[in-house]
Chain A
Amino acid sequence: MEGSDALLVARLAAGDDEALAETYDAHAAAVFRVAVRVVGDASSAQDVVQDVFVQLWTHPQRYDATVASLRTFLVVLARSRALDQIRSDARRVARHERVHRLTPLQDVPAPTEAVTAAETARLVQDAVNRLPADQRRVVELAYFEGLSYRQVALATGLPEGTAKSRIRAAMATLEKVLDRHLLESS
């Protein structure tokens, strides 16, 4: 029969759940380590581990034994899923931040959420700092100081329509910069 990785994945494709358990036992520790390193906490890392092994089980044909070892494939997949999770968290926090500024005080977050939010907020702040000056200014006014479009326009001396379009452009730039930053920092 073929090499052990190829055999294991052929068994997965054949619906052999014992092969899935064997794969988990052989590689879960490595996947978990990478996930913790990227997302920064054990709870989120467990979600990444689950994602990785469910993906392997549902789409085993995406692994090519001629390209890399199964461990490498799983570790790369874990890293990618972990980065997806951070991006998703960052967007969620940014949304939450915006809503938070427009609504009365909400419940105080749990300590673990506060740690995650603080970590992600730092990433977002770093990304904002990399924006061009005119974009950074309107984003800071709108999202960190909680000003409305009209107030941003008054504060910057821009027409309101221009302030609005500049904020939109800044948000698009911010998203790209934030994604690149997360990739580099991992």
Chain B
Amino acid sequence: MSSPTGSHVPPAGLRERVLTAALIARTPGRATPATEPITAVEGLRRSAQSLRQVLSALDESQWRIPALRGLDVQGLIGHLIGVETDVAGALTGDARAAAADHIASTETTARLQNGRPGRATLYDWVTAAGHVLDLLAAADPDAPVAVHGLRLTTRSLSIVRTFELWTHENDIRRALGMPRTDPDAPTLTVMTDFATAILPRAAAVRGIETPVDLRLVLTGPGGGTWQLRLRDETPAADIGVVTDAAAFCRLLANRTAAPDLPVHITGDPAIARQVLQAATTLALD
């Protein structure tokens, strides 16, 4: 048998009918299968737990392995103890934390770990991180906080710290020859929502040359589809970028260089690369 036109070509109106029915059945933009929604503080708690598990399994010699910026694993955790201290100060009204430098203000704490047993450093970091988690859980998520030159909400601070702990866990894993790890899907979802929200700001800071209508598709756990305007001017270049959600987070964390990111681009590749380069601008080491 055949269609009324005598051929087996789908009727012209079928395309719109099918696409409409599909978009009613599932709203575009969000990834499927849907992940359990979690708070930003919960995402940070999970990242802290993951790092703690790695550190708990280290022997003394592993604490001395060089990890990052001339710091060994123990020194890097010392750096984190310093960060936790500054963040706790910022959340409890210590104005000095606002202008403190992220690296310089923690150098002393990092150096003080030298010669201590690894488990003592671990204990101090777990205690400091737990205190910060308690403060963040009790805080209004929309309340402003200023720390290390950043002015942001406590919700955003939790996510920035999630990025930081995940990034440093992988710094340590790389130093120890362990495989890389990614956050679970709910945590990644919190991270990608934040990353896409700050991308226009990153583009503004970086000063991209061309206004861009960016369709960003992040695949895999924590993924989704976003339509973003970078520089609110016309005409704007239509750019499409498809990449893995966790890989995009590594780009933002400055652990993947823009040219090394596995990516599928539509539109002008040079402009797309500018956008990806801009995404690294707000990284905190």
Chain A residues close to B by CB (< 8 Å): 1, 7, 10-11, 13-21, 24-25, 28-29, 32-33, 36-37, 40-42, 45-46, 49-50, 53-54, 57-61
Q: Is the CB of A15 within 8 A of B28?
A: yes
B17 lies within 8 A of chain A by Cβ: yes
Chain B neighbourhood of A61, CB < 8 A: 32-33
With A40-B1, A49-B10 in contact, do A54 and B18 touch (Cβ < 8 Å)?
yes
Query: A152 to chain B: closest CB distance in Å?
Result: 37
Q: Is the CB of A58 within 8 A of B262?
A: no
Closest-by-CB residue of B relative to A53 is B18
Residues of B5-20 at the interface with A, using a CB-CB cut-off of 8 Å, are 8-11, 14-15, 17-19
With A14-B218, A36-B3 in contact, do A29 and B8 touch (Cβ < 8 Å)?
yes
* Chain B interface extent, by class: 35 or more
Q: Is the CB of A20 within 8 A of B19?
A: yes
Q: Is the CB of A57 within 8 A of B25?
A: yes
15 A–B contacts from the bound complex (CB under 8 Å): A1-B262, A7-B264, A11-B225, A15-B27, A15-B29, A15-B31, A15-B224, A16-B217, A16-B225, A18-B215, A21-B19, A36-B1, A36-B2, A45-B3, A58-B32
Q: Is the CB of B15 within 8 A of A58?
A: no
Q: Is the CB of B8 within 8 A of A1?
A: no
Chain A neighbourhood of B243, CB < 8 A: 1
Among B19, B22, B215, B242, chain A packs the most CB atoms within 10 A around the CB of B22
Q: Is the CB of A17 within 8 A of B28?
A: yes
Chain A neighbourhood of B33, CB < 8 A: 61
Q: Is the CB of B217 within 8 A of A36?
A: no
Q: Give the CA-CA distance A7 to B219 in the complex, in Å.
A: 9
Chain A neighbourhood of B43, CB < 8 A: none
Q: Is the CB of A32 within 8 A of B10?
A: yes
With A1-B243, A18-B215 in contact, do A50 and B17 touch (Cβ < 8 Å)?
yes
Contact residue among B3, B18, B218 (Cβ-Cβ distance under 8 Å from A42): B3
B30 lies within 8 A of chain A by Cβ: yes
B122 lies within 8 A of chain A by Cβ: no
Query: A21 to chain B: closest CB distance in Å?
Result: 6
Chain A neighbourhood of B69, CB < 8 A: none
Contact residue among B9, B27, B28, B217 (Cβ-Cβ distance under 8 Å from A32): B9
Q: Is the CB of A57 within 8 A of B225?
A: no
Q: Is the CB of A1 within 8 A of B263?
A: yes
Q: Is the CB of A17 within 8 A of B23?
A: yes
Closest-by-CB residue of B relative to A12 is B32
Contact residue among B9, B32, B220 (Cβ-Cβ distance under 8 Å from A15): B32
Q: Is the CB of A46 within 8 A of B224?
A: no
Q: Give the CA-CA distance A60 to B32 in the complex, in Å.
A: 8
Contact residue among B22, B27, B31, B242 (Cβ-Cβ distance under 8 Å from A54): B22
Query: A5 to chain B: closest CB distance in Å?
Result: 13
Q: Is the CB of B242 within 8 A of A7?
A: yes
Q: Give the CA-CA distance A70 to B19 in the complex, in Å.
A: 18
